[in-house]
A and B are shown apart, each in its own frame.
Chain A
Amino acid sequence: MKKQVLTFKVNGLSHDAIVTPNMTLSELLREELGLTGAKESCGVGECGACTVLVEGKPVLSCSALAIAARDKEILTIEGLAASVGKKPGELHPIQQAFVDYGAIQCGFCSPGMILMAKALLDENPGPTREEVQEGLGGNLCRCTGYVKIVDAVLAAADVLRKEAGT
């Protein structure tokens, strides 16, 4: 099995990493690049905790190969705020809404939830409550009961639409 040095574009920066074909994207992010925001929970594609965005699309990093993501734009929770021009320490509007609405308890599901919410709002900036519930259908939360998460995403949608002037 070949070891290769490959270049990954993560959160707007290029990283070189030594990769073997059997490395998952979550192993690359967490173990090679030290980006532990994406959580690995079920490891089999069922919980959404490991969600990151690849070329803007939500990807379960536990079930994706790192090698297949080379040369693609990867966004993790660590880079979300900066991706909309926030300074270090500031939050993205979706993150801020999660804080404001108490949508975070243990926090294990939050990075995946927030990135999935971003993918949803990028595609559909004005979702109904039902569309938010459907959009987050692949993300499990064992703490909040989901209501506050859905409230937060709807509130973030309002903020983002106002910022975009639409």
Chain B
Amino acid sequence: MSHMSASKLPPFEYYEPATVEQASKLLDNHGDEARVLAGGIDLIPRMRAGTVKVTQVVSLQRVNGLDYMRRSTAGGIDFGAMTTLHALERWEDLRVGFGALYDAIHQITSVQAKCMGTAVGNLCVATPASDVAPALAAYDAGILVAGPKGERRVPLPEFYPAYGCTALGPGEIVTGVEVPAIPKGHGAAFLNLVRTHADIAKVTVTAAVVIADGLCKQARIALGAVAPTMFSAEMAEALLEGEEMTHELIRAAAAAAARETRPIDDLRSTAEYRRATTEVLVARALHKAAGRARVSAANWGADRGPSGEGVTR
């Protein structure tokens, strides 16, 4: 965003509805003229730079019930649209049980951005370079959406139909995120490649696997910054599932994942470099995830919590 110059914000009408229904109605009435404001750390600079032009700003800051973090009855974690990245980073249940998601949030350098910015705002920006989106996708997160037609749950990769777009329809807002419980033998790892830590990722990877009886029962390889949207490398996942995670198989899966990318050349990297480093990062992430999965399988039921990740970190 460094190319943006800071000028005065253009005029707009500002609303602070108290309920999701009111917020949704305001958005629906104003169509493309309206935007939701959460932490504002993305939206306000874009409005100042003129790259987002809207005349109606609907703040969620006073909407009741959007700022929550809780363990679900099934053992997963749920959080709300106004829950900040900072609050999530400091949540012990997330750090211990969902270590790759913790790593994705923790590596964001700016504490101020994490104190203002919400995880849901990060997702709704819909940049393919988000670190948070692939991390949540690898944990099979679901996005909770509310709007004029009621409520629905959108699984994460499907939340991004095209570059810069979300699956949100007119008047719809995201109310929260659900991350399901982690099974025995689950392990996950987050890795990204950046020029400096304050910069946007060139490649961002979260891999998650479930290992039982020595075989990979489930694989998730979520990739960012290497295609128009975040996506799951489904061919690579299919290669792993049902098989033993040997070095050779991990290498083959990483090569398959690299073939599934559709990277671009830009000022950060060439497409060729992005594809080559995707292969390296996916292989590393799969090795880490598999190691953690084996620890989880061995320690399951011990008093150290449901996931091996917190144990090996």
- A44 in contact with B40 (CB, 8 Å): no
Q: How far is the CA of A144 from the CA of B2 in the complex (A)?
A: 22
B299 within 8 A of A: no
Q: Tell me, rounded to whole Å, the shortest Cβ–Cβ distance linking B90 to chain A.
A: 8
Known: A22-B8, A44-B49, A63-B41. A138 touches B57 (CB 8 A): no
Question: Interface readout for B79-119 with A: 1 if CB under 8 Å, 0 if not?
Answer: 00000001000000000000000000000011111011000
Q: Residue B298 at the A interface, CB < 8 A?
A: no
Contact yes or no, B6 A116, CB < 8 A: no
Cα–Cα, bound, A140→B86 (Å): 20
| Complexed CA–CA distance, A42 and B5 (Å) | 8
Q: Which of A42, A63, A67, A119 contacts B14 (CB 8 A)?
A: A67
Closest to A50 in B: B112
Contact residues of B between 217 and 252, Cβ < 8 Å to A: none
Q: Tell me the chain B residues, 185-234 only, with Cβ under 8 Å from chain A.
A: 197-198
Given contacts A21-B57, A22-B11, A64-B40, whether A42 and B2 have CB atoms under 8 Å apart is: yes
- Let me know if B11 and A45 touch, CB within 8 A: no
In the complex, the answer to whether B48 meets A138 with C-beta atoms within 8 Å is no
Size bin of chain B's contact surface: 20 to 34
Is A59 part of the contact surface with B, judged by Cβ < 8 Å? yes
| Total cross-chain contacts (CB, 8 A) | 100
Known contacts A46-B1, A46-B198, A65-B40; A116/B111 CB under 8 A: yes
Which residues of A lie under 8 Å from residue B48 when comparing CB positions? 43-44
Q: How large is the interface on A (under 10, 10 to 19, 20 to 34, 35 or more residues)?
A: 20 to 34
Nearest first, the 8 A-B pairs at minimum CB distance are A43-B6, A138-B110, A21-B14, A137-B109, A22-B9, A44-B45, A1-B11, A63-B44
- Selected A-B contacts with CB under 8 Å, 13 pairs: A40-B6, A42-B2, A43-B6, A45-B45, A45-B112, A48-B110, A65-B37, A65-B59, A68-B40, A134-B109, A136-B111, A138-B112, A138-B113
Question: Can you name 14 extra interface pairs (CB under 8 A) apart from A44-B45, A60-B41, A138-B110?
Answer: A21-B57, A22-B11, A44-B1, A45-B41, A45-B44, A57-B86, A57-B115, A58-B115, A59-B116, A60-B116, A64-B44, A64-B116, A65-B59, A68-B16
Chain B positions near chain A (C-beta within 8 angstroms): 1-2, 4-6, 8-14, 16, 37, 40-41, 44-45, 48-49, 57, 59, 61, 86, 109-113, 115-116, 197-198
